[in-house]
Amino acid sequence: MNKILLFLLLICSSGIEMSAQAVIDFQPKMLDKCIIKVFEQSEIKLEPLLPGKPEISEQLVNGLYYNIISSDFEVIGYSYVGRANSCKISGCDIKTDVINESGYEFFDYFILYDTSVTVMKVKVFNYQSTHGHEVTAEGWLKQFVGYNQEKSLDVGKEVDAISGATVTVDALTFDVKRVTKLLNRWLRNE
């Protein structure tokens, strides 16, 4: 009887964990702190930047863009807060598979951009994977600083690969390129 109760408890708790994974914290506390430090501001405000184009909106199922507003009410940059898909050791293809299937793990991150849509900072703030924690290291994430669409961003060239975190590295690199391109398209009104 005790084994049955333990089994049921494990099933229930894993169900709670699975449902909790579906929610992204779009304004983690460290985002404001990071913006204040990177933009050297004493106060900032985040204002959602809502794309009016359906083809862009549809591609943002796992993230949101924000205007970063200074105390002078001036847009001083942009932020993207989102979730990247990663895979369990069994493997999957992050570019084609659907999120929240059993083979997936995820991580939440944010990107800070200046007004020319150049990456100023990338921060992973919620890492759920069992492997590849090296992608959360500030030193490794600095590789993305300065990226804009004019430069290439390829794993093994501009981005160091991490043994044991291949899928995670590919997922973050792919996502940084994707959301930067979308933000540029939105701001250029394409």
**pTM (2 d.p.):** 0.79
Task: Answer whether residue 139 shows pLDDT above 60.
Answer: yes
* Residue 177 structural domain: 25-187
Domain-embedded: residue 17: no
Euclidean distance between CA atoms 84 and 32, whole angstroms: 21
Domain-embedded: residue 1: no
pLDDT at 61: 67
Given a contact cutoff of 8 angstroms between Cβ atoms, the answer to whether 175 and 45 are in contact is no
Domain-embedded: residue 49: yes
Task: Answer whether residue 31 shows pLDDT above 70.
Answer: yes
Q: Which residue has the higher pLDDT, 69 or 93?
A: 69
Domain-embedded: residue 163: yes
Q: Which residues are registered as beta bridge partners of 84?
A: 107
Domain-embedded: residue 182: yes
Domain-embedded: residue 65: yes
Handedness of CA 27, 32, 33, 38 (dihedral sign): positive
pLDDT at 128: 75
Q: Which residues are registered as beta bridge partners of 65?
A: 49, 80
Domain-embedded: residue 10: no
Q: What is the mean pLDDT of residues 158-180?
A: 89
Query: Looking at the 3D structure of the chain, how many domains does it have?
Result: 1
Domain-embedded: residue 4: no
pLDDT digits (tens, 9 = 90+) for 99-112: 445 556 788 999 99
